[in-house]
Amino acid sequence: MNTYGIVFRVSLFGESHGHAIGVTIDGCPSGLSLKTGDFKSDLARRKSGSKGTTPRLEGDLPEIISGVKDGFTTGAPVTVITRNAEMDSSVYNDVLATPRPGHADFVAKVKYSGFSDHRGGGHFSGRITWGLVVAGVIAKKILHPLRIGANIIEAGGSKDIDSAIEAALKSGDTIGGIIECKVENPPVGLGEPFFYSAESAISHLVFSIPAVKGIEFGSGFASAGMKGSEHNDPIVDETGKTSSNNAGGINGGITNGNELVFRIVVKPTSSTGIEQKTFNFEKKEMTFFKVTGRHDACIALRIPVIAEAAVAIALTDLLMIDRGIHGVRG
Ligand SMILES: Cc1cc2nc3c(=O)[nH]c(=O)nc-3n(C[C@H](O)[C@H](O)[C@H](O)COP(=O)(O)O)c2cc1C
């Protein structure tokens, strides 16, 4: 339930206000050089603290607790954790009686009969994506020298990200955004025709990121308004290079060797300082409420590195389905 992958298997665990959060990666090849410093740059990109992100500042320092000896992976499951330290659970006392609309409070309460950890969103918190980024760093190492890059291209419906964030902060409300992710020249042949098509695998992981509400590959939704003659990407040489890329680098669920391109939609943060309405389950009536805890005004600002991790994990698993765990070593 908390594990993704057929061969490169990534399991996430922990809660926002529990002792620790982390990730276990089974199916990691042996002999991969790995030290805690390798995670630094990607974890820093996920971290909060910049304008428009939550003021909750965690150290986020990774501890490798299994699967690595003398700086190299051993072939046993790799587990990496970080301890939670910066919690303030007091502001979450009310969410069981008055679930935040748009958040997971209501569904978690019903599904887990009131036993789930609701503090800071518990296991539904964006904080759990820390482990996804860690697994992404390992996947990127396996895929090296493949280059994966993602950027925020729109926030609050505007391409002027800074102004959109400023306006959101001024209004006390939250905004969404769009992230574009590109993988430069992946090998031809990653993906299986049906259930493990490259689109299915990438989408599965991308939709596991809390607050993601949509994805499109290549020309995506705009394809619906195009003619076949416009949409088809002419093949220009023996490598399969195309002169346009409406397919986003995937045909028949399999990477075609051209740039893999997708965009994802991130909703506005459900926790906002604006007064909203929800149902009070104790009084059995609708009530007004305001979120007082710390939250990201624009989650999309923190998503690019998480999207990179998602696609890296998906492609690594597809590569290993093709070549096996030991077939991907250097
Ligand atoms: C990096 C990251 C940070 C997030 N920060 C917040 C936050 O501060 N407040 C909040 O209400 N939701 C936040 N979320 C989103 C919630 O976890 C998510 O909306 C909630 O679990 C419900 O899931 P859904 O939006 O996919 O339906 C964050 C998500 C991510 C990926």
Question: Which residue has a Cα nearest atom 27 of ligand 1?
Answer: 211
Atom index in ligand 1 nearest the CA of residue 46 equals: 1
The verdict on the CB of residue 5 being under 6 Å from ligand 1 is: no
Instruction: For a ligand 1 pocket test, name from 47, 107, 123, 125 the mutation site with the most ligand atoms within 8 angstroms of its C-beta.
Output: 125
Name the pairing type of β-strands 20-26 and 68-69: unpaired
The verdict on the CB of residue 295 being under 6 Å from ligand 1 is: yes
DSSP code for 241: -
Residue type, 262: F
Atom index in ligand 1 nearest the CA of residue 266 equals: 25
The verdict on the CB of residue 305 being under 6 Å from ligand 1 is: no
The verdict on the CB of residue 174 being under 6 Å from ligand 1 is: no
- The H-or-E segment that residue 82 falls in is strand 78-83
The verdict on the CB of residue 208 being under 6 Å from ligand 1 is: no
- pLDDT tens, position by position, for the chain (330 residues)? 899 999 999 999 999 988 999 999 999 999 999 999 999 999 999 988 888 888 777 788 999 999 999 999 999 999 999 999 877 777 677 788 899 999 999 999 999 999 998 888 889 999 999 999 999 999 999 999 999 999 999 999 999 999 999 999 999 999 999 999 999 989 999 999 999 999 999 999 999 999 999 999 999 999 999 999 999 999 999 999 999 999 999 999 999 999 999 999 999 999 998 999 999 999 999 999 888 777 899 999 999 999 999 999 999 999 999 999 999 875
Spacing, Cα 294 to ligand 1 middle (Å): 12
**pLDDT score at 118:** 87
Tell me the C-alpha distance between 323 and 330, whole Å. 12
Tell me the C-alpha distance between 49 and 98, whole Å. 28
Torsion of CA 185, 189, 194, 200, to 10 degrees: -30
DSSP code for 77: P
Alpha-carbon separation of residue 127 from 37, 60, 79, 327 (angstroms):
20, 10, 17, 33
Q: Is the peptide bond before 234 cis (omega within 30 degrees of 0)?
A: no
Spacing, Cα 171 to ligand 1 middle (Å): 20
Spacing, Cα 274 to ligand 1 middle (Å): 17
**pLDDT score at 51:** 86
The verdict on the CB of residue 271 being under 6 Å from ligand 1 is: yes
Spacing, Cα 329 to ligand 1 middle (Å): 36
Query: Kindly report the CA angle at 307 between 305 and 308, in degrees rounded to 5?
Result: 60
**What pTM value is reported for the model?**
0.96
Inter-residue contact 24 to 41 (CB < 8 Å): no
The verdict on the CB of residue 269 being under 6 Å from ligand 1 is: yes
